[in-house]
Amino acid sequence: MEKIQNFIGGKYMDPVKGQYLDNYDPGRGKVYSQIPNSTQEDLDLAVQAAEDGFRVWSKMSIDKRSRILLKLADLIEDNIKELAVAESRDNGKPYTLAISVDIPRAATNFRFYASSIVNFSSESHISEGFMVNYTRRAPIGIVGCISPWNLPLYLFSWKIAPALAMGNCVIAKPSEMTPMTAFMLGKLTKQAGMPPGVLNILHGEGSGIGQAIVESTSTKAISFTGGTATGKIVGATAAQQFKKVSLELGGKNPNLVFADCDLDEAVKMSVKSSFTNQGEICLCGSRILIESSIYDAFKKKFVEEASKLNVGDPFDEKSDLGALVSEAHLEKVQSYISLAQEEGGTVLLGGNRLPKDGFYLEPTIIEGLDQNCRTNQEEIFGPVVTLDKFSSEEEAINQANATRYGLSCTIWTNNLKKAHNVAHQIHSGIIWVNCWLLRDLRTPFGGMKDSGIGREGGNEALQFFSEPQNICIKL
């Protein structure tokens, strides 16, 4: 069985204590590899390597750093098939999605920040005849990047690319459930000419090596993406050392469908926003709120379209949905389907696990639930969506805002004024109007309320990964 290794100081290494975890192929429901369950001893090696790496990387010209990151982006594209196979096997997502979205976007992340850093400028303020202030933005040092399992290489690279571009050295931990593409990235960084110790990748459990990375006095900033409960622990731990922290957390995203929308388009995209990647995208809409006058029409078409989706082997081209990431996660999602029924909901479509090896669940649509019930309040993170009605703009806004989350929201209307008015009253970091999941990497990315603090994307991420210092000169 394949055993993957940590990547420290430019070398692949076994974990010092020789402890390993099983890694599952969710499409088959079987263990297919083993990953290091890293400990403090591995972290100590990574810190030493990163300190050495920092002396070289932080002093390297921006142009040279940028070229290395551009080369890395090219290498990801050169190895797109192998990476997409690994991503799909680790996560259970359709291979077609991994090869068309996850891996290309990982390359784009490196290319984007390789060019952003060349164009990045810091601020200066001139008080004529009195003083000049300028802000120096230096790399922070060693930073920790911790990512989840749902978009493995895409989110891993989304964190480490700006950190590296800014001149930091990184100790990164991918999810223990989807470690393979991060493991493969180590080799590519070497080929791209990245000096040893600049990117160190440790594998293992969140409560073990993840927590150790956050607790370490050597990591000066933490960029974390994952669940809200974990984010609370990470934030509290980082706060003990006044460490910079960015938290990208869970969501319970509303999808508002007004009667004046293009119904066919709203239905088509709502099917995507509900079930893409088995509903395991933090930005998936999980509460569809529909204006009463078109509720029945929307429901009929939506159920019809969703019932055409194929669930099956991630490597079968015909599969629209693959497997959920793990048996435990599948059981959690199923428990919410049972809860929804106990809470008075009616299952309009799906609800069942497929009788085959692997962790497959039908796309599931539920109606008849109050917005205050647990099914509509808690993040399920699977192919489960609820339908509900509203009868005024005010009610739509209240329902949309009625959870502790505030990550994203989708609005379907052809009335431009309404779109703006509603958008401005929704407490979400990202609002899509008549679209979903379109991303311009220059825009701030992140959530409000319990969906996190801080923003990633564009200059926000470069600023996060730098230490500003103001220098004032008297004229």
Write out the residues near ligand NAD by the rule CB under 6 A: 146-150, 155, 173, 175-176, 206-207, 210-211, 214, 225-227, 230, 233-234, 248-251, 282, 379, 381, 407, 447, 451-452
Kindly state the smallest distance separating residue 473's Cβ from ligand NAD, in Å.
Answer: 40
Kindly state the smallest distance separating residue 248's Cβ from ligand NAD, in Å.
Answer: 3
Which helix (DSSP H) or strand (DSSP E) does residue 467 occupy? strand 466-474
Decide: residue 154, CB within 10 A, 0-12 exposed, 13-18 middle, 19+ buried: buried
Kindly state the smallest distance separating residue 159's Cβ from ligand NAD, in Å.
Answer: 10
C-alpha distances in Å from residue 169, one per residue of 166, 221, 398: 9, 11, 44
C-alpha distances in Å from residue 32, one per residue of 18, 184, 275, 472: 18, 16, 26, 58
Kindly state the smallest distance separating residue 171's Cβ from ligand NAD, in Å.
Answer: 12
Which is closer to ligand NAD, CB of 234 or CB of 337? 234
Backbone angles phi, psi at 419, to 5 degrees: -55, -45
List the catalytic residue out of 248, 291, 367, 460. 248
Which sign, positive or negative, has the C-alpha torsion 457, 459, 462, 468?
A: negative
What 8-state DSSP symbol labels residue 195?
A: P
Closest CA to 456 of 156, 81, 100: 156
Which is closer to ligand NAD, CB of 57 or CB of 381? 381
Closest CA to 440 of 33, 36, 116, 60: 116
Which is closer to ligand NAD, CB of 66 or CB of 230? 230
Which is closer to ligand NAD, CB of 226 or CB of 254? 226
Tokens of 351: 């609800």
C-alpha distances in Å from residue 385, one per residue of 118, 278, 345, 346: 43, 11, 11, 12
Kindly state the smallest distance separating residue 205's Cβ from ligand NAD, in Å.
Answer: 6
Concerning whether 472 is annotated as a catalytic residue, the answer is: no
Which is closer to ligand NAD, CB of 221 or CB of 282? 282
Kindly state the smallest distance separating residue 119's Cβ from ligand NAD, in Å.
Answer: 24
Backbone angles phi, psi at 51, to 5 degrees: -65, -40
Contact 409, 398 (CB under 8 A): no
Closest CA to 277 of 448, 109, 26, 76: 26
Which is closer to ligand NAD, CB of 294 or CB of 330? 330
List the catalytic residue out of 282, 291, 409, 456. 282
Tokens of 282: 């933090």
What 8-state DSSP symbol labels residue 82?
A: H
Concerning whether 282 is annotated as a catalytic residue, the answer is: yes
What 8-state DSSP symbol labels residue 451?
A: T
Give buried/exposed letters for 370-398 (b at 16+ CB in 10 A, else e).
Answer: ebebebbebbbbbbbbbbbbbeebeebbe
320 three-class SS: coil
Which is closer to ligand NAD, CB of 214 or CB of 348? 214
Give residue for tokens 């008549």: 434
Q: Which residue is nearest to ligand NAD (CB)?
A: 206
Q: Residues with catalytic annotation?
A: 248, 282
